Amino acid sequence: MKTAKVIGIVLLIVGIGLIAYGINHMNTTESEIKDFFGKKDTTGMFSAILGAIVAIAGGAMTLRK
């Protein structure tokens, strides 16, 4: 297997993990309490967006010939 494909698979897995972490973080009690008191908690959204970008890059590297 080529090195680029291996890196692509790793990036895809890391991206999916970041998406899952971000979605999970947005639904935590701590995040809900911060929202209630008017504080913005952008950690979850940032992680989900970054994960999507990394997953797309990893998928592109994996599917590339």
Tens digit of pLDDT for each residue in 41-64?
Answer: 888 899 999 999 999 999 999 998
Tens digit of pLDDT for each residue in 12-47?
Answer: 999 999 999 999 998 888 888 888 888 888 888 999
Q: Cβ contacts of residue 50 below 8 Å, gap of 6+?
A: 18, 22
Confidence of residue 11 (pLDDT cuts 50, 70, 90): very high
pLDDT at 31: 84
pLDDT at 39: 86
- Domain extents in the chain: 3-63
CA pseudo-torsion sign 39, 44, 50, 53:
negative
